[in-house]
Amino acid sequence: MTKKRTSPPSFEASLDELEALVERLESGELSLEESLTLFERGIALTRTCQQALQAAEQKVEILTAKDPEAAAEPFEHDT
């Protein structure tokens, strides 16, 4: 039996799922076990989103480096 390679979910899909998980966790209606399972999934989604953002930032830096007149500026993001 061979495993098919699946592409990772898009940034937007991961973010949507993460937002839904947060809403469910904030509802306070889950058992401890369910909360921990969702929290674990949320951590994985957070890492996926962070990696996608870092890759996008790197691409922007590469693209702007091609223009010798463009000055690199740190990426500002909401905390």
**How many Å apart are CA 49 and CA 9, to the nearest integer?**
10
pLDDT at 4: 62
CA–CA dist 33, 53 (Å, integer) = 30
The residue with greater pLDDT, 38 or 3, is 38
- Digit-coded pLDDT (tens) for 18-74: 999 999 999 999 999 999 999 999 999 999 999 999 999 999 888 877 766 666 667
pLDDT at 71: 65
Whether 79 has a pLDDT exceeding 60, the answer reads no
Integer Cα distance of 49 and 2 in angstroms: 28
Residue 67 has a pLDDT of 62
| Domain 11-65 -> CATH class | mainly alpha
Domain ranges of the chain: 11-65
What sign does the CA torsion over 36, 32, 21, 4 have? positive
